Amino acid sequence: MNNLTEEPVRMKSMMGNRIWRLYNSDRAAFKEETLRYFSRGYPGWKVVRIDYPLVYLEDERNKQK
């Protein structure tokens, strides 16, 4: 059904406290670790929003290039 509406497929996920602890101490490391974590666990999905404790992902596996 998503192909009919052309809206991106989105998903909510979570990550562990090891990464969340970086949020207040080292934002650059937090961003790097978040992107690394989700690129390994959800290849082809892009992090689009972070709102503790949720991380919102968008499916980019079938997007036209």
Secondary structure (DSSP) of 23-59: HHH-HHHHHHHHHHHHHHHSTTEEEEEEETTEEEEEE
In this prediction, residue 1 carries a pLDDT of 47
At residue 20, the pLDDT reads 98
Could you tell me the mean pLDDT of each successive run of 10 residues in the chain, 65 residues long?
A: 68 97 97 98 96 97 76
pTM: 0.82
CA angle 52, 2, 46 (to 5 degrees): 35
Residue pair 51/2 in contact by the 8 Å Cβ criterion: no
